Amino acid sequence: QSALTQPASVSGSPGQSITISCTGSNSDIGGYRYVSWYQQLPGKAPKVIIYEVTHRPSGVSDRFSASKSGNTASLTISGLQTEDEADYYCSSYTSLNISVLFGGGTKLTVL
Amino acid sequence: QVQLVESGGGVVQPGGSLRLSCAASGFTFSNHGMHWVRQAPGKGLEWVAVIWHDGSDKYYVDSVKGRFTISRDNSKNTVYLQMDSLRVEDTAVYYCAKDPRIKAARFPPDYWGPGTLVTVSP
């Protein structure tokens, strides 16, 4: 069981918007602004698409946005495209020990 | 641009050893902590180990403590993962990843290598 909880799967149609949640605790997501989101295409390494809760690296589409409320972080993908079909992982700093927490991952299917 | 390239993966029997390497370029290696993260076939990401920018501190996930050792050579811009007493459940793609903060090593990584596959099989 992962330290951060994500839905196993979400789906949407091209052009729609979807949101993926990531729930932690006061010791990680709720207490700090060090939450990242990664996109992992099949057979590839994870790529950061969001860092420090809301920031997008250069080159990442502005269709990706993120936020945090309490102990839950959320990733929203708007204007879904078929190339968005991938696994998405959240990650957070934790104050409880020296490690990095990951969510269990969410498989996005674009129908 | 930042590049991380892992090597050293392969097939090994249970109880055996492997040493993974990760060559870094495109950033000031000696300023950043480095992580190893693994992904078992069809599974999610699991943080494995981290080493501080100067090698002064190292931390591990409980399941590998006493069996894996992380180290680095800042003169070679390389981080290593020595894996001993390997188990079938260590089978995974192993990624090295860069900590984004300068002289810190507890934060979600910003750059990842392509990974190297370790298969532990009788």
pLDDT at A1 over 70: no
Q: Helices (H) and strands (E) in chain A — how many of each?
A: 0, 9
% pLDDT > 90, chain A? 92
pLDDT tens digits for A53-74?
Answer: 999 999 999 999 999 999 999 9
Any chain A CB within 8 A of the CB of B33? no
Q: Residue A54 in contact with residue B103, Cβ under 8 Å?
A: no
Could you tell me if A102 lies within 8 Å of chain B, comparing CB atoms?
yes
Rounded Cα gap, residues A101 and A86, in angstroms: 20
Contact A98 B106 (CB under 8 A): yes
Q: What is the reported pLDDT for A2?
A: 62
Question: Does A2 sit within 8 Å of B44, measured CB to CB?
Answer: yes
CA atoms within a 13 Å half-sphere pointing along the CA-CB vector of A18 = 20
Task: State whether A103 and B107 contact (CB < 8 Å).
Answer: no
pLDDT at A31: 93
Could you tell me if B112 lies within 8 Å of chain A, comparing CB atoms? yes
For residue A3, the model assigns a pLDDT of 84
Instruction: Give percent of chain A with pLDDT exceeding 70.
Output: 98
pLDDT band, very low/low/confident/very high, at A96 (cuts 50, 70, 90) = confident
Residues 6+ apart with CB under 8 A from A4: A22, A23, A24, A28, A29, A90, A91, A92, A101, A102, A103, A104
pLDDT higher than 80, residue A110: yes
> Which one of A99, A101, A106, A107 makes the best mutation probe of the B interface by having the most chain B beta carbons within 10 Å?
A99
Which pLDDT belongs to residue B104? 82
Residues of chain B with pLDDT under 50: none
